[in-house]
Chains A and B, each alone.
Chain A
Amino acid sequence: MNITKVLTGKEGEKLFLLGNEAAVRGTVEAGVSVASTYPGTPSSEIGDVLSKLAKDAGMYFEFSTNEKVALEVSAAAASSGLRSFTFMKHVGLNVAADSFMSVVYEGVNGGMIILSADDPSIFSSQNEQDNRHYSRIAGIPTVEPSNPQEIKDMMKYGYELSEEFQIPVLMRTTTRVSHMRGVVELETPNTDKKTGYFKKDPKRFVPVPANAREMHRILVEKMEKIEDVASNSPFNRIFNKGSKIGVITSGSAFNYAIDVIEKNELPVNILKIGFSYPFPEKLVYDFIKDLNNVVVIEEVDPIMEKDVLAVIGKYGLKTKVHGKLDETLPMIFEYTPDIVLDGMRKVIDFNLKEKQSYEPDIPLPVRPPTLCPGCPHRAAYYTVKKAVEELDLDAIYPNDIGCYTLGIESPYEMADYLLAMGSSVGTSCGFSKSTDQSIVSFIGDSTFFHAGIPPLINAVHNKDKFVLVILDNRTTAMTGGQPHPGLPVDGMGETAPEISIEKIVKAVGVEFLEVINPVSVDISKEIFKKALQFDGVAVVISKYPCMLTKKAASNQLLMNVDPEKCDKCLNCVKDLTCPAIYVAEDGSVDIDSMFCKGCSVCMQICPKKAIGAKRLS
């Protein structure tokens, strides 16, 4: 399928869409005018598709500097009467949380959807926080789709709800829904484009204490009314089999529950919750009041389960509740059909027609992800490590979020402390005040723009001493290569002013600043040594494009090993661990021409000068 189909597909047409692609179709059918994000797995593909289609859709789209800015861009658009969409990974909502709280108090004029893509089981994140808690902290209506079709349909529904009650709506997806592909039947695009106009109303839009108190009162009133809407929503559906046992479930967990129930022909009533906050209390009461047992199947925290218990307590029901709290189901990580099956068997006794299952007999080596062949981060890590060794320093390495976090792996082992986006710099300030160890911290270019600048100001102002290596590979690599403010192109592919990292660092007042080409090993090493000996904040910008970008792929060199000269010291194999270099079965070292990107770092570090380069024609 050509991705433009997401925009051009006609009513009634069926497409095989990723959840994230279906979200984009939702913006098209809902007539969204402004969309903004900071890329983060598992939500990144929404931005990738929007950056291709927004212009033709008559929409404005941007990759903002961080999630807080993204949310603010969309909040302003919605307060000006336009439909807006901001989306981020779950931890991105932490970054945006300050403004998120206020936009819910203030409300909106045009519809606004905030999509949070949670990551149960932590495929590509630092935690598996359950952002349904944010629904409760902020008081925001929340929908939880189970598949791509629902993502699209709930987008349309969400905008109508948002405008009716003048309140933003939170859409909570999980990795398995965002990265699920399914058949999506399209409806008509909404092509009515509006021009925004901001009508001043400080009582509504400026939360000074006197106004904020009134805003909170209004918010509570709105949410009471919306509870009725949730209880009657078409996205909260009952599948009634006249049983005394019921299941209440949402999101991905619904898919597992219904498959297990149908496959095993279990006599169980199901309440599928799609509109999950405000918790549809009346509907839940009606569903459970005559049941003996109810199983709550949800990922990750026992949130609905506690809400169900509250309903039972409030109305004095006798229904027994099963879920995470009584260990019917596991407390953490994502579910699978097998996990749900095990849970159901603890509540209902039924026979299984299961086949014998296998585990591998032969022990298998692990296959961890690694930096790509020719990745400039590898060269930077190798060189910093050598510089530290040659100066005989005891160094610690605060690290940050991006591909370069893979520096945690052997043999580099150069990720010692990490909290969140931008924490490499902030924590270096703290280490500088707490220990006499040398500190070298690493941050990527996109992450520097996202959250690295305020702590760098902090470092200079508070006279800290550490080396900050800004790994500038000219893209947001980990999430698939999105642009950032340091590039001459914006989220819609237009040329844009390039913000210079170098000038920012200088403007902050950093006195030691060098820009290196990391694949020049010896020169880089000498610069790192100087930086390590500098008494203050030293910044080294390691600038070289990511190997996955087109610019880098045009390198015309190919490395090869001269078996006559190679004494099999394995320096290249063990210290560099480039996936292109390997030991053949006869013990000789060789370079796989399919993987080699010709960065020439191995050639520079070979003590026997046994690695050569040839130019590709």
Chain B
Amino acid sequence: MKPYNIYICGVGGQGIIKTSIVIGEAAMKSDMGVVMSEVHGMAQRGGVVSTELKIGDSKSPIIEKSNANLLIAFEPMEALRAISKASKDTYVVVNTSPIMPFNITESEVPYPQIPDILDELKSKVKGVFALDAEKAAKDAGHILSLNMVMLGGATAVSGFPIDKEAVLKSMRANLPQKSIPINMKAYEKGFEFVSSN
């Protein structure tokens, strides 16, 4: 199978690695090849976090420039920072709630306007699904379910190679039992949003 490449980015603490593992295990259980790269360490102290997943026949987990099929951005500005992985064939699922860098008051470069970020994304890629995942997560019952909102959105994107049922099964196997009802709700909110847009 030609690799389906997913680049996931955001800020330390948003549950990016856990989300990536859910996708990776779902791919494995669906008898697809899968490799993933994650970075631990100092970046997790509020810095940029990203993972790369290749589903299909690939030895290297690093996505070549402009070769991501899907970009899942847990933070709007980080979507733009990852744009070199995207092309006119890429779909983007992006959370529109920003997280300000801690030093933004001192920064010479301001945080960009959200509509400007979305406009630039739309001008460059095949499709952009922009949702307020923070609000959706809170509505589902807990802010920490934000990653499952994003996962739900991602699974609904056209061309996503793994069945929804396999993803949900992997989610249940990887999250704490008592958090499942809220995370299921969060997942469905994301899935609904992308399916209906």
Question: Does B109 interact with chain A (Cβ within 8 Å)?
Answer: yes
Task: Let me know if B103 and A179 touch, CB within 8 A.
Answer: no
Contacts of A409 in B (CB 8 A): 103
Stretch of B28-36, B147-155, B156-164, B183-191 at the chain-chain interface? B28-36
Task: Let me know if A183 and B28 touch, CB within 8 A.
Answer: yes
Question: Does A357 interact with chain B (Cβ within 8 Å)?
Answer: yes
Across the interface, B81 reaches (CB within 8 A) one of A16, A259, A357, A360, namely A360
Contacts of B102 in A (CB 8 A): 368, 370, 577-579
Query: In chain B, what residue has the closest Cβ to A480?
Result: B40
Contacts of B100 in A (CB 8 A): 582
Task: Let me know if A14 and B41 touch, CB within 8 A.
Answer: no
Contacts of A18 in B (CB 8 A): 38
Q: Find residues 87-123 in chain B having any chain A CB closer than 8 Å to their own CB.
A: 87-89, 100-107, 109-112, 116-117, 120
Q: Find residues 25-65 in chain B having any chain A CB closer than 8 Å to their own CB.
A: 25, 28, 33-48, 58-65
Q: A360-B83, A364-B77, A365-B110 are in contact. Are A124 and B41 (CB under 8 A)?
A: yes
* CA–CA, A201 and B21, complex, Å: 50
Task: Let me know if A365 and B107 touch, CB within 8 A.
Answer: yes
B72 to chain A, nearest CB (A): 16
Question: Does A392 interact with chain B (Cβ within 8 Å)?
Answer: no
* CA–CA, A436 and B163, complex, Å: 69
Question: Does A83 interact with chain B (Cβ within 8 Å)?
Answer: no
Query: In chain B, what residue has the closest Cβ to A583?
Result: B105
Q: Find residues 248-289 in chain A having any chain B CB closer than 8 Å to their own CB.
A: 252, 254-256, 258-259
Task: Let me know if B86 and A123 touch, CB within 8 A.
Answer: no
Task: Let me know if A358 and B83 touch, CB within 8 A.
Answer: yes
Contacts of B46 in A (CB 8 A): 367, 369-370, 372, 579
Question: Does B179 interact with chain A (Cβ within 8 Å)?
Answer: no
Question: Does A341 interact with chain B (Cβ within 8 Å)?
Answer: yes
Task: Let me know if B103 and A181 touch, CB within 8 A.
Answer: no
Question: Does B167 interact with chain A (Cβ within 8 Å)?
Answer: no
Stretch of A39-47, A58-66, A99-107, A230-238 at the chain-chain interface? A39-47
B37 to chain A, nearest CB (A): 6
Question: Does A391 interact with chain B (Cβ within 8 Å)?
Answer: no
Could you tell me how many residues of chain B have their Cβ less than 8 Å away from some Cβ of chain A?
62
Interface residues on A, range: 35 or more
Contacts of B34 in A (CB 8 A): 16, 182-183
Question: Does A600 interact with chain B (Cβ within 8 Å)?
Answer: no
Task: Let me know if A336 and B62 touch, CB within 8 A.
Answer: yes
Question: Does A1 interact with chain B (Cβ within 8 Å)?
Answer: yes
Question: Does A403 interact with chain B (Cβ within 8 Å)?
Answer: yes
Query: In chain A, what residue has the closest Cβ to B82?
Result: A360
Q: A358-B66, A360-B120, A406-B45 are in contact. Are A368 and B101 (CB under 8 A)?
A: yes
* CA–CA, A364 and B82, complex, Å: 11
Count: A-B pairs, CB below 8 Å: 178
Find the residue from B45, B58, B104 having the highest chain A CB count within 10 A: B45
* CA–CA, A363 and B108, complex, Å: 10
Contacts of B38 in A (CB 8 A): 18, 179-181
Contacts of A124 in B (CB 8 A): 40-43
Contacts of B120 in A (CB 8 A): 360-362
Q: Find residues 541-596 in chain A having any chain B CB closer than 8 Å to their own CB.
A: 570, 573-574, 577-579, 582-583, 594
* CA–CA, A262 and B24, complex, Å: 23
Chain A interface, >50% SS class: loop
Question: Does A394 interact with chain B (Cβ within 8 Å)?
Answer: no
Task: Let me know if B36 and A357 touch, CB within 8 A.
Answer: no
Q: A181-B21, A364-B109 are in contact. Are A176 and B37 (CB under 8 A)?
A: yes
A75 to chain B, nearest CB (A): 28
Question: Does B168 interact with chain A (Cβ within 8 Å)?
Answer: no
Contacts of B166 in A (CB 8 A): none
Contacts of B61 in A (CB 8 A): 176, 180-182, 255
Question: Does A175 interact with chain B (Cβ within 8 Å)?
Answer: yes
Contacts of B88 in A (CB 8 A): 355-356
Across the interface, B45 reaches (CB within 8 A) one of A365, A371, A574, namely A371
Task: Let me know if A403 and B59 touch, CB within 8 A.
Answer: no
Question: Does A423 interact with chain B (Cβ within 8 Å)?
Answer: no
Task: Let me know if B28 and A410 touch, CB within 8 A.
Answer: no
* CA–CA, A14 and B47, complex, Å: 33
Question: Does B12 interact with chain A (Cβ within 8 Å)?
Answer: yes
Task: Let me know if A176 and B62 touch, CB within 8 A.
Answer: yes
**13 sample A-B contacts, Cβ–Cβ < 8 Å, listed by A number:** A1-B25, A1-B174, A42-B40, A123-B43, A124-B40, A124-B43, A181-B36, A336-B64, A358-B66, A358-B86, A369-B46, A409-B103, A573-B105
Interface residues of A (CB under 8 A from B): 1, 14, 16, 18, 41-42, 44-45, 123-124, 146-147, 175-176, 179-183, 252, 254-256, 258-259, 336-338, 341, 354-372, 403, 406, 409-410, 478-480, 570, 573-574, 577-579, 582-583, 594
